[in-house]
Copies of this chain bind each other. A is one copy, B any other.
Amino acid sequence: MMPSPTRNPVTASEPDPSRRNNLALLTSLVHHNGVLSRAQLTKRTGLNRSTVGALIGQLVNLEVVYEAAPSGEAQVGRPSPIVHPRPSIAALAVNPEIDAVTIGLVGLGGKVQKKIRFDTERIPTAKEAVNIAAAVIEGMRSELDTSYRVMGVGIAVPGLVNRDDGVVRHAPHLGWRDEPVARMLGEATGYPCHAANDASLGAEGELLFGAGAGQKNLIFLNGGASGIGGGIIADGELLRGTSGYAGELGHTFVRSSGKPCHCGATGCLETEVSQSPLFELAGIGGGDAGELEQALRQNSSEAVDTEVARQLEYLGIALRNAVNTFNPEAIVLDGFLGILHALSPGTLVSSLQSQAMDGPAGQVKIYRAALGSDLMMIGAAELAFTQFLADPAGALAALPLSKVDYVH
């Protein structure tokens, strides 16, 4: 009576890809779940003990993971060694914003090893952002060459990015248009570079390492100085669309005869819900999300409450649409959207209950993002890890020879 969970296959499974596939599966599990015992890996994969043993052995040889003593947890039976990802396998992350370019180094396992924020006097051009990133990476070069194996660079851009070719189609707040940033940074650094929308990467980051862990369907919304970005995870996979532009929930229609938006339409979520009036009411000129929340809580007033309620109403409309459309398990809010929700926790939930359709709205949970300022680094690095995770042995074999003197 129940439909089978199996999917109709679209690709043939050849024997060679079979091993690669399982190697990739184990690598991803270790990377995303951090610490798992071999016994847990056999359960999670459904593979035989002996097979997992052989595969882990290969990953140990490749120095992708290492096995450590079993955890102290008292359990009947022979203890199973713990498999750890080696953070010396790493990816670089770059995140240009309107007032800074942040560069990070993230190890396998998702831990941020290093983060450098380079403040800019004015909004950086694509070329400037690439130059800054390349210079900072050049500064780390000797350390990278000796202690890490870098799988590539991921660039998180607040705007429409074609994920296939790494071209920023349009980043309105940065003023970029048709900038092939991935190619530019690739030529400058020599690393394979990929670019994608920042909120999409944020969604993946929160899915894998943050508030959305374990979910299969979730909506991520980030509110920042550069407007509202969205990323959607459907059935465990990021929704990309034809060119990787999917997820622009900031331009959901929420108001008839609303203000015109830079995108050409009117009544977009992004024009009705923004952080600048909140900063004004909070009485501070600028700053990060943490300062804004503190200031809003201290300067509580009717004006603040009214503005928060107004913004939450429009946010509720956008979320209602999204819930009806995606039937997600969870919604994760980051940036000032997370603050709005935290200031009036029940509002969004109850407006969804009354406005969205019974079925989809029933189970939705609303969370605040968990990874904070590391999120973009982790998400962007994930982009750079993609190829490696799909074929660990192949990616390492293709790696240029380096003087890596592994950090143990």
Contacts of A2 in B (CB 8 A): 164-165
Interface string of A312-344 (1 = CB under 8 A from B): 000001001110111111000000000000000
Interface string of A378-408 (1 = CB under 8 A from B): 0000010011011100000000000000000
Stretch at the interface among A6-14, A106-114, A120-128, A280-288: A6-14
**Residue A163 is within 8 A (CB to CB) of chain B in the complex:** yes
A216 to B244, CA, bound (A): 12
Known contacts A24-B8, A390-B7; is A327 also within 8 Å of B243 by CB?
yes
**Residue A263 is within 8 A (CB to CB) of chain B in the complex:** yes
**Chain A interface helix/strand/loop/mixed:** loop
* Min C-beta distance of A199 to chain B, whole Å: 12
Tell me whether A253 and B6 are in contact (CB under 8 A).
no
Tell me whether A359 and B170 are in contact (CB under 8 A).
yes
Tell me whether A321 and B163 are in contact (CB under 8 A).
no
Q: Looking across the interface, which residue of chain B has its beta carbon closest to that of A19?
A: B13
**Residue A95 is within 8 A (CB to CB) of chain B in the complex:** no
Tell me whether B252 and A324 are in contact (CB under 8 A).
yes
Tell me whether A327 and B242 are in contact (CB under 8 A).
yes
Stretch at the interface among A136-144, A232-240, A295-303: A232-240
Contacts of A14 in B (CB 8 A): 46-47
**Residue A118 is within 8 A (CB to CB) of chain B in the complex:** no
**Residue A162 is within 8 A (CB to CB) of chain B in the complex:** yes
Most chain-B CB neighbours within 10 Å: which of A9, A267, A326?
A9
Known contacts A1-B182, A3-B164, A237-B235; is A242 also within 8 Å of B329 by CB?
yes
Tell me whether B7 and A25 are in contact (CB under 8 A).
no
A328 to B248, CA, bound (A): 12
Contacts of A163 in B (CB 8 A): 3
28 residue pairs of the A-B complex, CB under 8 angstroms, read A1-B182, A1-B194, A3-B387, A4-B386, A7-B390, A8-B386, A12-B25, A12-B45, A162-B359, A169-B359, A230-B325, A232-B325, A234-B239, A234-B246, A240-B327, A243-B359, A245-B360, A246-B327, A248-B325, A248-B357, A255-B256, A263-B355, A263-B356, A264-B355, A264-B356, A265-B354, A265-B355, A322-B325
